[in-house]
Amino acid sequence: MKRAFTLIELILTIVILSVVTYFSSDLIAKTYLNYNRVNSLQRANLRVEIALNSIVNRLENAIDGTIVKRKDVNNTNLISIIVAPDDYEVLEWIGNDIDGFEAHKNLDGTSNTTMIQPAWSGFCNILESDPYTIVTPGSNLEFEEEIITRLSDGNVTFEDGFALFFPGNYDYTNVGYQGTNPTGVSLVTGKDTSLPAFKLSSPVSRITEHYKLAWTAYAVLPVNCNGEGVCDLELRYNFRPWKNEDYDSPHISRALLAKNVSVFKTYATENRVHIKLCVQERLGANSRTSICKEKVVFR
């Protein structure tokens, strides 16, 4: 005959099952919390990496001498990044048109690689140029205008917006920041595709063998800050300091780089720019952490 459970055995069984259930639930809860923490940290790490790369990829093509910082978003107290204090919030620079420089087009409409030209070559023929006409061998200026017209949403053409930068003619004080007279910038007002050549509105003070072509400046700045100093980080472009425009001009383009940014610091030496970025991530109802990274742009 099969003997039934005694009351003591039943109670012991219930107690053992309860203990096992308690520890199993606690283990599952801790496993879930750890997974949620790791997943949150990975998301924050990815956001920081994407934001830093977006800044670095553009800053690598900054025109030398045009990287500046501003005290705050009210466009006050502009100064070169090399001597700017750490508490200056806004990073700004003029970037050469890397899209047009790296783009190539077949002149005869075929795959003939012997007739490929970049949109702008960066070379100046000094012998054939004059202060109002810059001959640039190897350039395809019609292609350049097509590229920039699309990138600027139609705001920039050869007659309104392009600028040439010759070494020795400029620094951050004379490229148009804060409405200053852009005496170091050569303003392009047209093109001669038969040469090809840039037509300028005023004479160049000094012509050299190489130039940089620009159609926009860039600014990285904190916006929508809360009382704890946590902000969104925004990239602004499609504005031209040499036309007395800044990053608050009506037709600027904006891109959100990162949310919940607690630290955005930049500083520079003579040959490199350091960028530090920290982003907060919520781990639970009352728990937060920060992911911080720093990158260096060699100039």
CB of 136 closer than 8 Å to CB of 253: no
- Angle value at C-alpha 174, between 168 and 175, nearest 5 degrees: 90
**Collapsing DSSP states into helix, strand and coil, what is residue 246?**
coil
**Does residue 65 belong to any structural domain of this protein?**
no
Which residues neighbour 35 within 8 Å (Cβ) at sequence distance 6 or greater?
none
Q: Is 114 exposed, middle or buried (0-12, 13-18, 19+ CB in 10 A)?
A: exposed
Whether the predicted pLDDT of 157 surpasses 90: no
Token pair listed for 21: 């259930």
**Does residue 99 belong to any structural domain of this protein?**
yes
Whether the predicted pLDDT of 166 surpasses 70: yes
Confidence of residue 115 (pLDDT cuts 50, 70, 90): low
Q: pLDDT for 187-224, tens place per residue?
A: 999 999 888 999 999 999 899 999 999 999 999 999 99
**CA dist 220 to 58, 69, 228, 256, 273, Å?**
11, 10, 20, 10, 14
Interatomic CA distance for residues 189 and 187, integer angstroms: 6
Interatomic CA distance for residues 259 and 68, integer angstroms: 23
In 3D space, the residue among 277, 267, 238, 294 whose CA is nearest the CA of residue 80 turns out to be 267
**Does residue 130 belong to any structural domain of this protein?**
yes
Mean pLDDT (the chain, rounded): 86
Q: pLDDT for 70-85, tens place per residue?
A: 988 787 788 999 999 8
**Does residue 184 belong to any structural domain of this protein?**
yes
**The dihedral formed by the CA atoms of 44, 47, 50 and 55, expressed in degrees to the nearest 10:** -110
Interatomic CA distance for residues 104 and 138, integer angstroms: 11
Query: What is the distance between the terminal CA atoms of the chain, rounded to a whole angstrom?
Result: 91
Interatomic CA distance for residues 63 and 31, integer angstroms: 51
Whether the predicted pLDDT of 186 surpasses 90: yes
Whether the predicted pLDDT of 1 surpasses 60: no
Share of the chain above pLDDT 90, in %: 58
Whether the predicted pLDDT of 269 surpasses 70: yes
Token pair listed for 274: 């350091």
The model carries a pTM of 0.85
CB of 206 closer than 8 Å to CB of 145: no
For residue 100, give its domain range.
79-216
Q: Which residue has the higher pLDDT, 11 or 269?
A: 269
**Does residue 13 belong to any structural domain of this protein?**
no
**Collapsing DSSP states into helix, strand and coil, what is residue 59?**
helix
Interatomic CA distance for residues 198 and 211, integer angstroms: 12
Share of the chain above pLDDT 70, in %: 83
**Does residue 288 belong to any structural domain of this protein?**
no
Token pair listed for 27: 């283990």
Q: pLDDT for 14-46, tens place per residue?
A: 767 666 666 556 655 566 566 567 677 787 888
Looking at the structure of the chain, the number of domains it has is 1
**Does residue 88 belong to any structural domain of this protein?**
yes
With residues binned 3-state (H G I as helix, E B as strand, rest as coil), the percentages for the chain, rounded to 5, are 25, 35, 40
**Does residue 159 belong to any structural domain of this protein?**
yes
